[in-house]
Structures are given as structure tokens and as C-alpha cells.
Copies of this chain bind each other. A is one copy, B any other.
């Protein structure tokens, strides 16, 4: 494969000049044309490893999420990637399965890659232990954030959104409402807080379950709740993955929504509008989240000194059949 020296010889110039053509440096039009022609002749491709080594910038960002198969992360990551490539950057995607060891391993990998920055959806545990300053690159957290702000972050207004679900269910006439939340992310905690607060405001108890963030765990937990002698009349479910588990549990228990149990949750996944008369959900602005995260990262690269900020986006309540008024 041709290298810069070959191009230089073919064009009768020095390697420096070829490099300048590559980087839009000052070159006369005549020479530039000759060099470009030589590149075409030789089918030249600049070696990115060499370029990165010398120039000390990799134009690469890391995107660390729990599981790309979670439609929320799928959508966010697509937005991040589009935005990254538009800015001439590459993306390294990592799946952690909410496992702190994998998170640590991938953060280490990011250091070896000398990435320009990282967009990260960390577990609670890692948030608590992480020293972002020691990493050597800026981090923008998404979906989850540390309470005490030390890195940039893009999150949903989770308390408000969860409270909105509760208020909606109350307005529809439901009272016995239980919640199901993920136990590994700060997001689950926040949504629980909003749920509990809104229930308390209404003078109601707020029974809640915290489960591992998987369809199966949610399904088991909801089955158990449904089998209890005092079955809840409505369920608030903390995200799309858990909602899938809840729906499976209801189906296998032979129960219908909203007649037997009303449902309301998060994430406007494609299938939520198709089930019965639709599932009531808080739609997250997934595209905006990805784009905002990328934008914050770029701003941070511009100005390393500015104080960390959190972008809080609002969800949108989509009231559908699963929370129709109680009989």
C-alpha cells in the first residue's frame, strides 16, 4: 500500500508538501493538483494510526452503554454516531451489561486509544467511584448522572416524568399504584423518587420493587406482585426493557390492561403503540439526547475549563389505552 513518500516521489515534491495537501495547508494550486493526481494514481490512503501518533489527536470518541439492544441506547447511539461522523470523528462502541468490571475495563481501553472524549451511561456504582479528572479525557454522562456534578451530563427530568405518570394515573381514577424500577442506575432511583413523591402528595402508599435491569427479572417481579393477595390496580414501570417484562407477566397471568391492571412506563419503543390500544409511556427525546451529548462533548473540547453542566430534557407523556379510566 502506497505511503506518503511514494506519493511525494510520484508528484515530484517532498513528503511535507503532500502532508500539507492532506491537511489543507498552504500549497500552490498547481502543486496541489499534481499531488492529488498522484494520490489517485497510487490509490493512496493516509495511515490513520501514523497520523494519530504524530498529530496527537485521534478524532475518536468512546460510547459506553449497557446494551446496544436496549432500544433507548440503540437510538441514542445512532444519533451520536451520525453526529460524530458529521464532525469527522469515529466512534468506539462498548456494551457493559451494567457490569462495573466491564465499565472499568472499557474506560481503560479508552485511555489506551487516547480518545478525544467519552459518552457514558454508567452504573450507580461506577458513578460513585469514578474520578473523571484522572481519566485524561472529558466525559459526558447520558441517561444517568452523578448527584454532585463533576462531569457534563444529559439526562431526562426523571422525577418530573415519573410524577407525571403518577398524576396521570391518579387523574384516570387509579389509587392502588405500584412501581417497578431498575436497581443498577441512578435513573431508576430518580424515577422512584418522583413516583414516591407524587404518591405521597396524594396521601397514598407507594409500594415499589427494585429489580435487575432485564426482561426476565422484571417478568418475575411483576408475576410475584400480581400473585400477591392485594394486587395493585396500576403499574408504573421504569423503562422499556422492564415494561416488556411486565407485559409478558400480565399475558402469562391471563390479565388484561387496563381492565385488570393499568400500565404506564417509559420509552416510546415501536411496539408500545401497537399493543391493544397502546401503552401509555413517557417518550424520551432519544435523538436529542444523543445530539446534545455530542454537542456538549465538542463544547467541552473547545473549553476544558468551563464548569460542568447538566442538560435536563423533558419527556413527553403519551397517554394511550393502557391507562384508560378505571371502571
Q: Smallest distance from the beta carbon of A58 to chain B beta carbons, Å?
A: 7
Q: How far is the CB of A168 from chain B (nearest CB, A)?
A: 23
From known contacts A53-B49, A91-B93, A114-B49, infer whether A68 and B58 are also in contact, taking CB-CB under 8 Å. Answer: no
Chain B min CB distance to A295 (Å): 19
What chain B residues lie within 8 Å of A91 (beta carbons)? 92-93
Contact yes or no, B47 A53, CB < 8 A: yes
A1 interfacial by beta-carbon distance below 8 Å: yes
- 11 other A-B residue contacts (CB within 8 Å) besides A69-B74, A90-B113, A91-B93: A45-B112, A46-B112, A49-B52, A50-B53, A67-B78, A68-B74, A69-B71, A85-B94, A92-B92, A271-B275, A275-B275
Closest Cβ–Cβ distance, residue A273 to chain B (whole Å): 9
Chain B CB within 8 A of A82 CB: yes
* A108 sits at the interface (CB 8 A): yes
Bound: A161/B181 CA distance, A: 40
> Which of A49, A95, A114 has the largest count of B CB atoms less than 10 A from its CB?
A49
Q: How far is it, in angstroms, between the C-alpha of A238 and the C-alpha of B326 when the chains are bound?
A: 40
Q: A48-B113, A274-B271, A274-B275 are in contact. Are A75 and B81 (CB under 8 A)?
A: no
CB-nearest residue of chain B to A106: B85
| Bound CA span A95–B90, Å | 12
Interface class of chain A by DSSP:
helix
The residues of B that contact A69 with a CB separation of less than 8 Å are: 71, 74-75, 78
Chain B residues with Cβ below 8 Å from A47 are 53, 112, 114
| Residue of B48, B111, B271 touching A271 (CB-CB under 8 A) | B271
- Which of B58, B85, B251, B274 is the one whose CB lies under 8 Å from A251? B274
A65 to chain B, nearest CB (A): 11
Could you tell me if A78 and B95 are in contact, using CB atoms closer than 8 angstroms?
yes
Scoring A47, A82, A113, A248 by chain B CB atoms within 10 A of each residue's CB, the highest score goes to: A47
Most buried by B among A53, A77, A92: A53
On chain B, the residues within 8 Å of A49 by CB distance are 49-50, 52-53, 58, 113-114
A327 at interface by CB-CB < 8 Å: no
Within 8 Å of chain B (Cβ to Cβ): is A136? yes
Q: Does A193 contact B (CB under 8 A)?
A: no
